[in-house]
Amino acid sequence: MPPPTTLAVFTAATLALLLVPGPAVVYIVTRSVAQGRAAGLVSVAGIHAGSVVHVVAAALGVSALLAASAAAFTAVKYAGAAYLVYLGLRKLLTRAGGALAGEIEPVSRSRLFGEGFVVNVLNPKTALFFLAFLPQFADPARGPVAPQIVLLGLIWIALGMVSDGGYALLSAALAGRLRRSPAAARRLDVAGGLVYLGLGALAAFASDGPRRA
């Protein structure tokens, strides 16, 4: 199990990434604005059911990658860091696109859950985090990597449900103001871009990643 200091840093980095609006948050906010609080919370549940897929894939994939080649893991780490920097620059340089939520047709709760699941399974931000950033906090010297990845992944899901649930509740409460707000969208882009750049630097320079015991 990772030490408490590692878990604390991981928690802080996770919260920073979760608070950046990505495809999952956009989906949650859109549905919350269009259909209300209950729809937003069902969407959150679907999103994090999809997160379980990423946890399992990371636990299996990172363990296999580490066993096969430390150099391959390092390549994945730097590719992930570069992608984070790219996302940050794109958010900073791209103009906000108007409405946060347009006219969305209401759908059933089962469809909300299913769409949320698919959105997060196919979410490159989530895949990147689990495959390139999360393993920085696993240490083979403290035992098998896969259980550590699962523990970190479960912490990520718990924090994600809290933060995304907050987005759902807040956006439902402010639905009228959020329907058309280019200024709010731009502020979110700038804040998100800075967070991505910071996480990209952390992923690239804070650690050399897992090493063989």
Break the chain into its structural domains and give their ranges. 4-205
Nearest to 131 by CA among 111, 156, 108: 156
Q: Are 121 and 52 in contact (CB under 8 A)?
A: no
DSSP 20: S
What would the pLDDT profile of 3-43 be if each residue is shown by its tens digit?
Answer: 888 888 889 888 887 887 777 887 888 788 878 899 999 99
- Cα–Cα dist 164/166, whole Å: 5
Q: Residue 24's Cα: distance from chain center in Å?
A: 8
What would the pLDDT profile of 187-206 be if each residue is shown by its tens digit?
Answer: 655 655 666 677 667 656 65
- pTM higher than 0.85: no
Instruction: Please report, for the chain, how many H helices and E strands are present, in that order.
Output: 9, 0
Q: Are 1 and 148 in contact (CB under 8 A)?
A: yes
Residue 138 tokens read as 């696993």
Q: Residue 81's Cα: distance from chain center in Å?
A: 14
